């Protein structure tokens, strides 16, 4: 059964199972086209050590920027702030008091696309309302959180 499409160059697109390195184990050759139309050949040699690949091993890249509500909220003395980036970017995540004064910078670096999580510890702050703000490229969002002692 041949379930491959031929490329313009005549190379079949799909998966071929064979013993490419003649070691007696079945290997895989994968020919795929990426989102830019480029064809790539991947050969996976069977060493006998792989027991399986789980979908959990791969992080799905988010489609949009998002900033989640911190948890727990209200909090004492620490809380978790989560956000998602659809692309790598320089990110700042800052904490401000009710007067708009910066009290902490949690992130100020380039981050890869994906899901991110940071802990904010407010041991040195008094009870009250605080704001956390993310800036990543042209995306910016601010959310409110409450510290209760």
Question: Domain limits of the chain?
Answer: 5-49, 66-147
Instruction: Name the pairing type of β-strands 114-121 and 78-85.
Output: antiparallel
CA-to-CA distance for 20 and 48, rounded, in angstroms? 15
Q: What is the pLDDT of residue 47?
A: 59
Element (H or E) spanning 37, and its range?
A: none
CA-to-CA distance for 29 and 62, rounded, in angstroms? 29
Instruction: Name the pairing type of β-strands 12-18 and 27-33.
Output: antiparallel
CA-to-CA distance for 149 and 146, rounded, in angstroms? 10
List pLDDT tens digits, range 20-77.
778 888 777 777 766 666 666 666 666 565 544 444 444 578 889 999 999 999 999 9
Q: CA angle 143-147-149, nearest 5°?
A: 175
The domain 66-147 having CATH identifier 2.40.50.100: the answer here is no
Q: What is the pLDDT of residue 27?
A: 73
Average pLDDT of every residue of the chain: 82
List pLDDT tens digits, range 104-146.
999 999 999 999 999 999 999 999 999 999 999 999 999 999 9
Q: What is the pLDDT of residue 134?
A: 98
């Amino acid at each position: 059964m041949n379930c491959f499409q031929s490329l313009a160059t005549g190379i079949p697109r799909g998966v071929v199972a064979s013993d490419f390195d003649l070691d007696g184990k079945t290997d895989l050759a994968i020919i795929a086209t990426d989102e830019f139309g480029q064809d790539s050949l991947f050969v996976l040699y069977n060493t006998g050590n792989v027991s399986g690949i789980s979908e959990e091993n791969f992080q799905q890249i988010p489609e949009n920027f998002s900033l989640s509500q911190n948890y727990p909220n209200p909090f004492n003395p620490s809380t978790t702030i989560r956000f998602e980036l659809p692309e790598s970017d320089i990110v700042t995540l800052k904490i401000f008091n009710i007067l708009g004064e910066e009290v902490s910078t949690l992130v100020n670096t380039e981050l890869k696309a994906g899901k991110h999580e940071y802990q904010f510890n407010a041991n040195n702050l008094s009870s009250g309302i605080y704001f956390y703000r993310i800036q990543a490229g042209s995306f910016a969002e601010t959310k409110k959180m409450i510290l209760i002692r």
